[in-house]
Amino acid sequence: MNHKIEIYDTTLRDGTQAENFNLSVEDRIRISLKLDELGIDFIEGGWPGSNPSAVEFFKAMQGQTLKHAKLTAFGSTRNFNKPVDQDPNLQALIAAKTPGITIFGKTWDVHVRDALRIGLEDNLTIIVESLQYLKPHVEHLFYDAEHFFDGFKLNTEYALATLDKAVEGGAECLVLCDTNGGTLPNEIPAIIEAVDKHLDSKGYTIPLGIHAHNDSETAVGNSLVAVSMGISHVQGTMNGFGERCGNANLTSIIPGLVLKMKCQVNAGEKLDRLHETARFVNELANLPHNKYQPYVGRSAFAHKGGVHVQAVERNPITYEHIEPEKVGNVRRILISDQSGKSNVLYKAKKFGLNLDSKDPVVSSIVQELKELENQGFQYEGAEASFELLMRKALGTKHHYFDLKGFRVISQKSSMDEPSQDEATIRIVVGSEGEVHTAALGEGPVNALDKALRKALTRFYPNLKEMELADYKVRVLAGEHGTGAQVRVLIQSRDGESEWGTVGVSHDILEASWQALVDSITYKLMKDEQKQG
């Protein structure tokens, strides 16, 4: 298969209908420019007739220059009670001044009767009249046949009649929508074949598109199957965001089309930007990255079992379906209780440590790793702690300070007032003698972190550029109730990189201390290596 596929992104409309997914106008502009850089063909900016922020976005975009992508505005067919030239929705679409307009119309007779509450013929009228009215105002005019697959199954003749009216109205592409997301991939070929046969019988030559929702976990599959049936226009969202269970995920569809189906896709020319674009959208939406997401997730090319690692080192295709670099991702070797020598050697190479597979220290590291993980330590999200563990085994771990003691006081004098937390710490730094400091914080761990930094910053000024990015506590399974062990994972960062550390104890402050010390030690070691 080698035909050209248009990619139509609807993250800024469908994506924002997802729960907890919110974007400012500025965010929408930045995402539009990022999608343009990726090579997306059409970017649906929103529904200007539905809210003021969409109107503001389209006005702002008139001052932006897209190098490749065409911006589209989205709306519905006219209200049956208003003529086209008086319909506010159609007027808002024209006022958006976009190169493209997409309107949707009812395809399923149930919706015509129960949602619009008009006659079936009346619905056909508003489809053709809306498109005919908009046609002179835009370069590209798309028609979304809403609920097409459900409508086709229950009233085939009427569903096809709505498509006829869209062609008559001047649409340049008929987009078949699985709006409820209930269609399965095995149903797609017969329905598209029937649509093609019907359009041919009418003498119509018009491209078809697919707009799939993910309620049955098949949106990506449905889209790829549709392309295999000759469809040339695919709609979806970045990272699959959308109402309910989401939309067809373009970060899976695009590499599928390019790398597996060998289709011509403009975004395929910049496929190595896919990973960064996916993360960019998540960051602006202030949502966590889905590490398990195909192609662009952190775990997409992560290997944990020792046998797997050994095989991947010899030939990556043994456990990877594509090269991660093609989509801008990277291979990761995880460290866990399933790790063997291969994992440790791989990490040693990454950390710049000279280790031989026959060196007895490798076996001792593997053994210590498994014992620590049995106690509750976890290094998959704490590679900095694992590097320090390895350096300690090799005798190359740097020592920057010693703890003489700390005390944390959490005092609450009234139920209506927040608690007051104070940490006091005593440490020794080299030959400088004992340093004694105290700090207040928002919670006991924050107070301890501040006290430690306060004590060390006078000796190591670079610690000022380091900050805590994330702090997680997990109670580990045990028989001690509130005395159970806890695992603390800390994510730290400076202006150049981000790293994770871990601590485990029955005492949450002790576990936090372990992770904090590793985090600061790693930062100091990293800076020392850079200077050296």
Residue 168 has pLDDT above 90, yes or no: yes
* pLDDT value, residue 341: 67
* pLDDT value, residue 99: 98
Short-list 511, 513, 490, 510, CA closest to 500: 490
Residue 338 CB partners (closer than 8 Å, separation 6+): 304, 305, 306
The 402-411 sheet, strands edge to edge? 402-411, 420-428, 434-441
pLDDT digits (tens, 9 = 90+) for 275-287: 989 988 987 887 8
- Name the more confident of 330 and 113: 113
Cα 177 to Cα 149: distance, rounded to the nearest angstrom: 7
* pLDDT value, residue 529: 83
Residue 40 has pLDDT above 90, yes or no: yes
* Structure-block tokens of residue 193: 């074949």
* pLDDT value, residue 1: 61
* Structure-block tokens of residue 2: 């080698």
Residue 345 has pLDDT above 80, yes or no: no
Share of the chain above pLDDT 90, in %: 63
- Using CA of residue 181, residue 116, residue 19, residue 282, what is the dihedral sign? positive
pLDDT band of 313, cuts 50, 70, 90: low
* Mean pLDDT score, 164-176: 98
* pLDDT value, residue 392: 85
The domain at 401-459 falls in which architecture?
2-Layer Sandwich (3.30)
- Residue position matching structure tokens 């040339």: 232
| Length reported for the chain | 532
Cα 438 to Cα 453: distance, rounded to the nearest angstrom: 10
Q: Are 249 and 219 in contact (CB under 8 A)?
A: yes
- Name the more confident of 372 and 307: 372
Residue 340 has pLDDT above 80, yes or no: no
- Residue position matching structure tokens 């290596």: 529
* Mean pLDDT score, 179-192: 98
- Residue position matching structure tokens 């209930």: 182
The 498-505 sheet, strands edge to edge? 467-475, 486-493, 498-505
DSSP-assigned beta bridge partners for residue 234: 7, 210
* pLDDT value, residue 482: 54
* Structure-block tokens of residue 402: 């010693």
Burial pattern 160-173, b for ≥16 Cβ within 10 A else e, equals bbbbbbbbebbbbb
When mean pLDDT is compared across 72-76, 114-118, 419-423, 482-486, the lowest value belongs to 482-486
Cα 282 to Cα 417: distance, rounded to the nearest angstrom: 36
Written in H, E and C, the secondary structure of 105-154 is EECCHHHHHHHHCCCHHHHHHHHHHHHHHHHHHCCEEEEEEECHHHHHHH
83: left (phi over 0), alpha (psi -120 to 50) or beta: beta
- The answer, as to whether pTM is greater than 0.75, is no
Cα 308 to Cα 319: distance, rounded to the nearest angstrom: 7
pLDDT digits (tens, 9 = 90+) for 51-65: 888 999 999 999 999
* pLDDT value, residue 308: 65
pLDDT band of 351, cuts 50, 70, 90: confident
Residue 205 has pLDDT above 90, yes or no: yes
Mean confidence (pLDDT) of the chain: 90
Cα 319 to Cα 323: distance, rounded to the nearest angstrom: 10
* pLDDT value, residue 178: 98
Task: Return the C-alpha torsion angle 71, 76, 82, 86, nearest 10.
Answer: -10
Cα 45 to Cα 9: distance, rounded to the nearest angstrom: 9
* Structure-block tokens of residue 312: 């991947």
* Structure-block tokens of residue 510: 């002790």
The pairing of strands 100-106 and 173-178 is: unpaired
Residue 480 has pLDDT above 60, yes or no: no
* pLDDT value, residue 126: 97
Share of the chain above pLDDT 70, in %: 94
- Name the more confident of 378 and 234: 234
pLDDT band of 67, cuts 50, 70, 90: very high
46: left (phi over 0), alpha (psi -120 to 50) or beta: left
* Structure-block tokens of residue 219: 């949106």
* pLDDT value, residue 471: 85
Q: Are 55 and 83 in contact (CB under 8 A)?
A: no
Count of alpha carbons within 13 angstroms of residue 257, beta-carbon side? 35
Q: Are 214 and 181 in contact (CB under 8 A)?
A: yes
The pairing of strands 486-493 and 467-475 is: antiparallel
Cα 423 to Cα 419: distance, rounded to the nearest angstrom: 13
Opening angle at CA 296, ends 291 and 302, nearest 5: 60
When mean pLDDT is compared across 103-112, 254-263, 265-274, 446-455, the lowest value belongs to 446-455
- CATH code 3.20.20.70 region(s) in the chain: 6-285
Residue 496 CB partners (closer than 8 Å, separation 6+): none
* pLDDT value, residue 335: 59
Residue 413 has pLDDT above 90, yes or no: no
Burial pattern 494-505, b for ≥16 Cβ within 10 A else e, equals beeeebbbbbbb
Q: Selecting from 3.30.1490.20, 3.40.50.2300, 3.30.70.60, 3.20.20.70, what CATH number does the domain 6-285 have?
A: 3.20.20.70
Rg, the chain, Cα only: 29
End-to-end CA distance of the chain, in Å?
54
Cα 349 to Cα 331: distance, rounded to the nearest angstrom: 14
- CATH code 3.30.160.270 region(s) in the chain: 401-459
